[in-house]
Amino acid sequence: MTKTFVAVTRVVLIVAVVLAAITSVFSYLAGVSAAAPKCAGRAWVEGYRNGIWEFLALPLSSAVVVILVGTVALGRRERLRSLLRVYDLPVLEFASMQVTLGEFVIYSTLLMSLVMLGMVTETSATRYNAIVNYCLAAAAFN
């Protein structure tokens, strides 16, 4: 494995951990906001289900993606190394850097993982915003 490959995968891992942490914080805050007196006991709040599994699903799925990214980033498995050796065909060249077919496949997978985590984080933030605006805004006027 090249130093560039190791550096890129570690950066992707750091970004994935940050996105998963943000998702967890927003899910926790949405759960706390949904426990406000106006929304407590309701099955649906502003189009979002108001159950414990709904608030745990996004952080847990984010954690699974982080584990998968971490396996690639920190993986010293022989299977990963053999994949990179077998598909050692140059696909892209930038200045002095060469991207092989194996690295390209792994980079594409990691990029899609980050995109999915970003979408989950955005969904979590949107859900938190809707719930907090509905549940706490009305409670402040009472």
Mean pLDDT value of segment 116-120? 95
Q: Select the more confidently predicted residue: 136 or 58.
A: 58
Where is pLDDT greater, at 22 or 6? 22
pLDDT confidence bin for 140, thresholds 50/70/90? low
pLDDT for residue 137 is more than 80: no
Q: pTM for the full model?
A: 0.83
Picking from 103, 85, 82, the residue whose alpha carbon sits closest to that of residue 94 is 103
Half-sphere exposure of 66 (CA within 13 A, CB side): 19
Kindly report the average pLDDT of the chain as a whole number.
Answer: 84
N residues, the chain: 142
Domain edges within the chain: 3-141
Residue 1, pLDDT score: 65
Higher pLDDT, 82 or 69: 69
Q: Which residues contact 63 (CB under 8 A, 6 or more apart)?
A: 20
**C-alpha distance from residue 137 to each of 33, 43, 64, 132 (Å):** 10, 19, 34, 7
How many helices (DSSP H) and strands (DSSP E) are in the chain?
Answer: 4, 4
Q: Find the range with the poorest average confidence among 31-40, 71-80, 132-141.
A: 132-141
CA atoms of 73 and 131, how far apart (whole Å): 36
Mean pLDDT of 2-7: 81
Q: Over the stretch 13-45, which tens digit does the pLDDT of each residue have?
A: 999 999 999 999 999 988 888 877 777 777 777
Cα–Cα distance, 7 to 24 (Å, whole number): 26
Rounded distance between C-alpha atoms, residue 107 and residue 110, angstroms: 5
Mean pLDDT, range 75-104, rounded to an integer: 80
